[in-house]
Amino acid sequence: MKRFHGLDRAQGYGLLSMSKQAKLTAIAVNLKRIASILSSLNHFIFVLLHKYLFKGRFYSYKKPICT
């Protein structure tokens, strides 16, 4: 987290500034993790709904009967 999110250098002077920066960085990292989890969960729910509720109804193809 220190290397990739800007905690290697402080943006201001003093412990208070560094403390604020560290807390905001931790909040940003946690929000990214939550977004990633919700995104993958949303995809998983979509796949389950499509598989079990729709059961290919929209994509079924019947060959036309030609004489």
Q: How far is CA 14 from the centre of its chain?
A: 34
Average pLDDT over residues 37-46: 81
- Residue 37 amino acid letter: I
CB 25, CB 6: distance < 8 Å: yes
What's the pLDDT score for residue 1? 66
Is pLDDT above 60 for 54? yes
Which DSSP state fits 51? I
Tell me which DSSP letter residue 63 carries.
-
pTM: 0.59
